[in-house]
């Protein structure tokens, strides 16, 4: 069967999800199970995968989804714990003193604070923390979700202390070292990161300005792009605060720290400048009264509609849960502290070679493929456990919460988990089928690879302008920049070879893959469902995808231009 025909089949589950959620406005709780069933049927009917293998992949997906759900639950728990303790209202009062302007708050929280969290933890953590904070400040829930999803793009290539680069491109390490004539693998990853920063650079300045205009156009009282664009000087200042350490660390050190330190250094400088009124717009922009909002903007969790906030504690104490989250993420994720090695792998639950023994006993052809079907949850390494749940427990003591307030926080967080559980189980199980289709009795390429090869064949010499779309496709399917890079790193390298590029041309194409995986985070169903869960918007995934699609397309244009210029104009 031709790769093109395989690609046509492979896109069907994606189309099912898109048509149901975006076109028919179905909630993900109904759409994603049908998309999963479509993928399972195609895996069995076209890729000839046995039912037992599909079952094993489903179990793998369920285990992986449980890990994601723990992160979502931990984020919800922090939010409701701080709400019940009075910390959230205190933060609202403090942020109003820094600036009551929602445009300023969107940049400080959604762009800069989230970049730091991405650099430390990644894997959907920024939206899980930042979106509820914006919600508590009075942002419409759907606006908070969209802002945090879109802004979580520039820092993602270097998220989780460089994991998308260091782990995602591990498969091409040896061949890249040989091509470059180097013996230190760190030079390979550093070079990929350097080119990636150049591709991210235009959008690091364009995206904040665009998203503020986007916010005021679609969620403002006057439906005006100009009201958001009016804060362009502040956006440029914020971008400079982030980009200077971001670039310096990527080019002088490596891929581990650009987003983490770029975010925290930029955040500190930006807050000081904001307090001193530097580049702050003269007029304050806020949302309309909540009673005038479109019903589609809200869900199970209402935005704060309080106009005067009371400080129940000091600002330091109110922010302490977030401060502790940041500190714990840095201490456990940065190798120099040697703490991560002490907790990583100490408490792990999961399964290895899922149903493999049963497949061997049943005499299923190709049962060796089951050896690759494994999933586990590293409970203490999971951000949902440390720091989220741990910090939530510490907050009870720090904020001297009553038993009633604590019970309310935990009960509300648990109650909000029903809908995202259904959606995420189906979405992540579908991801497992996509990845697992690489091991099939028919000998076909995997579903994602069929899609990528077809796109590359159509693109030809225009591939540098389009290479990021393969990364975006991988992130859309898998919900992870790291996994997207793992899926397509060798494909991108081989495509560069087929096009006759030199060594640096290969690096540029691979870097475009990494940047595409980062920008794909804003449209992947996995992240959208998680963001909807913490904002109480389960059922509104289609609305959010329609909003994040256009920033994704905008992002791809300068990335493609920079990649093309780097290859053809050297």
**Amino acid 353: pLDDT:** 79
Of 242-251, 386-395, 429-438, the range with the lowest mean pLDDT is 429-438
**Amino acid 265: pLDDT:** 92
pLDDT digits (tens, 9 = 90+) for 87-111: 888 987 888 889 999 999 999 999 9
Strand 375-378 to 348-351 pairing: antiparallel
Q: Is the pLDDT of residue 288 over 90?
A: yes
**Amino acid 566: pLDDT:** 95
Compute the C-alpha angle 183/187/191, nearest 5°. Answer: 140
CA distance 500 to 438: 27
pLDDT digits (tens, 9 = 90+) for 138-174: 899 999 999 999 999 999 999 877 888 988 898 788 8
pLDDT digits (tens, 9 = 90+) for 116-133: 888 876 767 787 778 888
CA-wise closest residue to 211 among 134, 103, 313? 103
Q: Is the pLDDT of residue 324 over 60?
A: yes
CA distance 496 to 508: 9
pLDDT digits (tens, 9 = 90+) for 451-476: 888 988 888 889 999 999 999 988 88
**Amino acid 285: pLDDT:** 97
β-strand partners of 351: 375
Q: Is the pLDDT of residue 358 over 70?
A: no
pLDDT digits (tens, 9 = 90+) for 26-61: 888 888 899 999 999 999 999 999 888 899 999 988
**Amino acid 489: pLDDT:** 87
**Amino acid 361: pLDDT:** 61
**Amino acid 362: pLDDT:** 61
Rounded to the nearest 10 degrees, the angle between the axes of helix 541-568 and helix 525-535 is 140
pLDDT digits (tens, 9 = 90+) for 398-408: 999 999 999 99
CA-wise closest residue to 190 among 569, 563, 521, 507? 507
**Amino acid 230: pLDDT:** 97
Which residue reads 């909003």 in tokens? 547
Q: Is the pLDDT of residue 553 over 90?
A: yes
Q: What percentage of the chain reaches a pLDDT higher than 90?
A: 46
Q: Is the pLDDT of residue 502 over 60?
A: yes
């Amino acid at each position: 069967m031709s790769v093109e025909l395989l690609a046509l089949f492979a896109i069907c589950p994606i189309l099912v999800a898109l048509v149901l959620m975006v076109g028919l406005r179905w909630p993900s709780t109904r759409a994603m199970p049908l998309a999963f069933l479509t993928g399972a049927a195609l895996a069995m009917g076209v890729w000839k995968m046995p039912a037992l293998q599909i079952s094993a992949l489903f179990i793998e997906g369920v285990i992986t989804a449980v890990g994601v759900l723990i992160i979502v639950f931990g984020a919800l728990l922090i939010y409701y714990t701080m709400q019940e303790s009075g910390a959230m209202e205190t933060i609202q009062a403090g942020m109003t003193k820094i600036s009551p302007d929602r445009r300023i708050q969107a940049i400080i929280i959604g762009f800069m604070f989230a970049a730091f969290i991405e650099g430390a933890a990644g894997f959907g953590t920024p939206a899980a923390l930042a979106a509820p904070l914006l919600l508590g400040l009075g942002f419409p829930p759907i606006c908070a979700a969209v802002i945090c999803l879109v802004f979580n793009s520039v820092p993602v290539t270097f998220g989780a202390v460089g994991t998308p680069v260091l782990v995602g491109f591990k498969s091409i390490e040896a061949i890249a070292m040989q091509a470059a004539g180097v013996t230190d693998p760190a030079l390979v990853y550093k070079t990929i990161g350097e080119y990636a920063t150049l591709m991210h650079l235009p959008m690091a300045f364009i995206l904040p300005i665009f998203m503020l205009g986007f916010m005021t156009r679609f969620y403002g009282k006057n439906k005006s792009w100009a009201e958001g664009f009016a804060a362009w000087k502040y956006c440029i200042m914020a971008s400079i605060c982030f980009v200077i350490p971001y670039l310096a660390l990527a080019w002088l050190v490596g891929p581990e720290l650009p987003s983490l330190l770029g975010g925290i250094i930029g955040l500190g400088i930006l807050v000081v400048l904001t307090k001193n009124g530097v580049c702050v717009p003269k007029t304050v922009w806020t949302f309309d009264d909540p009673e005038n909002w479109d019903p589609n903007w809200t869900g199970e969790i209402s935005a704060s509609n309080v106009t005067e906030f009371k400080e129940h504690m000091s600002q330091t104490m109110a922010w302490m849960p977030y401060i502790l989250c940041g500190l714990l993420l840095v201490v456990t994720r940065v190798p120099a502290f040697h703490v991560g090695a002490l907790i990583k792998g100490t408490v792990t639950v999961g399964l290895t070679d899922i149903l493999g023994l049963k497949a061997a006993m049943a005499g299923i052809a190709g049962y060796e493929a089951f050896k690759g079907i494994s999933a586990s949850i590293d409970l203490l390494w999971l951000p949902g456990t440390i720091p989220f749940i741990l910090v939530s427990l510490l907050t009870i003591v720090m904020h001297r919460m009553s038993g009633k307030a604590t019970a309310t926080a935990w009960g509300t967080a648990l109650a909000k988990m029903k809908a995202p559980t259904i959606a995420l189980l189906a979405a992540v199980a579908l991801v497992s089928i996509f990845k697992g289709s690489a091991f099939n009795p028919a000998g076909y390429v995997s579903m994602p690879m069929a899609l990528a090869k077809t796109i590359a064949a159509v693109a030809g010499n225009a591939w540098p302008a389009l290479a990021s779309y393969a990364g975006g496709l991988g992130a859309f399917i898998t919900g992870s920049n790291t996994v997207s890079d793992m899926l397509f790193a060798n494909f991108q390298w081989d495509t560069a070879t087929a096009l006759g590029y030199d060594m640096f041309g290969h690096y540029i194409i691979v870097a475009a893959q990494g940047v595409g995986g980062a920008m794909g985070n804003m449209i992947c169903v996995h992240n959208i469902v998680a963001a909807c869960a913490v904002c109480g918007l389960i059922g509104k995934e289609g609305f959010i995808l329609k909003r994040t699609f256009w920033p994704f397309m905008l992002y791809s244009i300068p990335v493609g231009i920079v990649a093309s210029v780097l290859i053809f104009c050297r």
